[in-house]
Structure formats: structure tokens, C-alpha cells
Chains A and B, each alone.
Chain A
Amino acid sequence: MQDTDRPHVHGETRARILALVKEIDAVYKQHMRKPTGMVCDICNKGDTDDIHKVKDVVNGYEHREHMSPRLCYGHACGWNTSYTKLEYNRRCLLLGLNRKVFTDRIEMSRTVFNEPVLSDEEVDLHFAQYLAKQLQKTVKEKR
């Protein structure tokens, strides 16, 4: 049987590539596990673990990072859900589709918008609404 691995030809190169892969992996893991050192603007909590970290740029603020609030994993997920829903509804409205109809949902998924459908003002306003809800929630917990 012919030896396809051919270590006498590829052995040295393979070992170098594998060493590089391990180095890249180490750098990546070191970077990903590094704590952000930031705290959430709403609950004032920091990172909980390697995955659940504070986000400094949240959805809807990608094009104006300096304006973005810092949110912990939980609040970032909550805001993401709220923002995505608003954006989806607006897209449906612009296309004249009903989001409850299955065929319309497929049509929606096939449509790509070149420009953002929500203005900065609307995003800010929606975020203010999210904040007001969170404030009411905090008040309920305090009582």
C-alpha cells in the first residue's frame, strides 16, 4: 500500500503549520477571554464570564459607535430583541407585507435593503422607550 501521508516530504511543513495554528488559537483565546473592564449603563454590572460580556456597541448604533450605550449581555439581548422587532415591522410596512402570513415572511427574507430602514432619531427614541421600561422594572424590584 502506498504511503499517502509522505511524512518524509511534508512532515516539516506540516509541523510548522500546526505550530502556527496553535499560536493563532492561543492569541485568539487570550483576546476573547480578556475582560472588557466595562460596566453596564443600566445595571452597573460587568462581565459575568468569558462569553457573557459587556457590549460597547449595541444594535442600531453600529454607524455611530461613540453614541452607543454599554450594555451587559442580558440587557444587550433584550435591546436586540426589541430593536430587531421594530426593524422587522418597519420592513414589512415598507414592503406592504403582513408578517403573520408565511409566504410574506419568505418574501421578506428574500428582500435586502441597501439603506437602514430606521432613522437615528427613531432608534434613539426606541432606546429611550426601552430604558423607561427598564427603569419601571427596577422600581418594581426596589419596592
Chain B
Amino acid sequence: MTDKQLKITEKTSSGLCDALFDEFDLLRNGLSDAHRASAVAKLAVQIINTKKLEIEAAAFHKAGLRFIPLALTSKGIPIGKKEENAETGV
């Protein structure tokens, strides 16, 4: 693919809107097909969901909540561990 054909999307929310509008144009003019448009739409939804989660997390962080990366550490808390401790009194 040459440099002229390479299309780079601006990595912002409005850039994502532009990319979707471009896909509408391509679909309308017969330069894209339903499968490609569907894939673009699904990909866009994934990006949007990630971004929304980031915004939500930023809002919590701003409010003073500190995140503990439980899923990424080896010292995760096994499910049901707390209840067992409560029963034994440890």
C-alpha cells in the first residue's frame, strides 16, 4: 500500500466520527461492502466502550479513588477467601 492510499484516522473522538462518516460515504458510493461496514461499526463500538470506561475511571480517580490492579498482579484475592477467614475467626 503506498503512502497516498494509506489513510490515517485522527485519534480523537471527533476523528472517530470522521472515520465513520467516511465509511458511510464509501458504503453509499459502492466502494465498501456490508461486511466491511459492519466490521468498522463493531470496531468503533469497542473503541467507544474502552474510551467511556477510561473517562469513568478518570472521574473516579479525580474523586479520590485509588485503583488496585488486582487482575494484573499475582497476589490476587481468591474468591471465597474472606468468608473462610470469617468462619475460622482468623
**Complex Cα distance A63/B70, Å?**
42
Chain B residues with CB under 8 Å of A129's CB are: 44-45, 48
Q: Which secondary structure dominates where chain A touches chain B?
A: helix
Are A41 and B45 in touch, CB under 8 angstroms? no
A136 surroundings in chain B (CB, below 8 A): 38, 41-42
Let me know if A143 and B24 touch, CB within 8 A: no
Q: Which of A124, A133, A138 is B17 in contact with, Cβ under 8 Å?
A: A124
Instruction: Encode B5-29 as 1/0 by CB contact (under 8 A) with A.
Output: 0000000111011001101100110
Question: B43 to nearest A CB, angstroms?
Answer: 9
In the complex, A128 has a CB within 8 A of chain B: yes
Tally A residues with Cβ within 8 Å of B. 22
A122 contacts the other chain (Cβ, under 8 Å)?
A: yes
Tell me, yes or no, whether A44 is within 8 Å of chain B by CB.
yes
A125 adjacent to B37 (CB under 8 Å): no
Q: Which residues of B contact A131 (CB under 8 A)?
A: 17, 20-21, 24, 44
Residues of B within 8 Å of A132, CB to CB, are 20, 41-42, 44-45, 48
A106–B28 Cα distance when bound, in Å, is: 45
Q: Are A121 and B24 in contact (CB under 8 A)?
A: no
Docked Cα-Cα span, A129 to B55, in Å, equals 15
- Is residue A95 contacting chain B, with contact meaning CB distance below 8 A? no
CA distance A41 to B17 in the complex (A): 11
**Inter-subunit contact B27/A69 (CB<8 Å):** no
Give the chain B neighbours of A41 by CB distance below 8 A: 21, 24
Whether B20 and A125, one on each chain, are in contact in the complex, defined by CB atoms closer than 8 angstroms, is no
Chain B residues in the interface with A (C-beta under 8 A): 12-14, 16-17, 20-21, 23-24, 27-28, 34, 37-38, 40-42, 44-45, 48, 51-52, 55
Closest 6 pairs between A and B when the two form their complex, measured CB to CB: A124-B13, A135-B41, A131-B20, A132-B44, A125-B13, A128-B16
